[in-house]
Amino acid sequence: MEETTLKPLSQVPEGRTVVLVRIDAGHGLNNRLAAMGLLPNVEFRVINNHHPGPFVIDLKGAKMALGRGMANKIVVSEV
């Protein structure tokens, strides 16, 4: 069986594609992110990982900027 490693999105280097596992946040924020298309099992690509500063991902062709705090709360596994 293949070992999948979980890590916060903030540690994913640029250019990688990942699958969202969970978001460690309250249900308000979870709801909001779900509405924007960020929910478990969704695949997306990291376009820009500035250090420090926000973060850009490509989610089904739309670009989204996330704050670093946000990127720490999102747990993903690399594909």
Partner 1 sequence: MKRIRVALAGNPNSGKTTIFNMLTGARQHVANYPGVTVEIKEGKCTYGDYEITFVDLPGTYSLTVYSTEELIARNFIIEQRPDLVVHVIDSANVERNLYLTTQLLEMNVPLVLDFNMSDLARQKGLVFDIEKLSELLHAPIVPTVGRKSEGRSQLLEAIVKVAGSEKTDTSRLVRYGSEIEEELAKIEALIDAGENKIAEKYGSRWLAVKLLEQDEEVAAKVAGKELAEAVSNSVAHLETIFKDQPQIVVADRRYGFISGACTEAIKSTVEARHSISDSIDAVIIHRVFGLPIFLLLMYVVFFLTFKLGAYPMAGLEWFFDSAAGWLEQAWPAGSMLWLKSLLIDGVIAGVGGVIVFLPNILLLFLGIAFLEDTGYMARAAFVMDRIMHKMGLHGKSFIPMLIGFGCSIPAIMATRILENRRNRLTTIMVIPLMSCGAKLTIYALIIPAFFPEYLRGPMLWIIYIIGIALAVIAARVLRNTLFRGETMPFVMELPPYRLPTARGVLIHMWQRAWMYLKKAGTVILAVSIILWALTAYPKPSQESLSGLTPQQAQQAELEHSIIGRVGKAVEPALRPLGFDWKIGTALIGATAAKEVFVSQLGIVHAVGETDEDSVTLGDKLVKEYSPLTGFCIMLFCLIYAPCAATLAITRAETGSWRWPIFQFTYLTVLAYILTLFTYQIGVLFM
Using alpha carbons, select from 32, 25, 35 the residue that is nearest to residue 69.
Answer: 25
Q: Three-class SS of residue 60?
A: coil
Q: Among 11, 31, 43, 79, which residue sits at the site for partner 1 (rule: CB under 8 A)? A: 31
Of 7 and 21, which has the nearer Cβ to partner 1?
A: 21
Under the criterion CB under 8 A, does residue 8 sit at the interface with partner 1? no
> Long-range contacts for 52-56 (Cβ within 8 Å, ≥24 apart)?
55/9, 55/10
Q: Which residues bind partner 1 (CB under 8 A)?
A: 22, 25, 27-37, 39-41, 47-48, 50-54, 56, 59-67, 69-70, 73
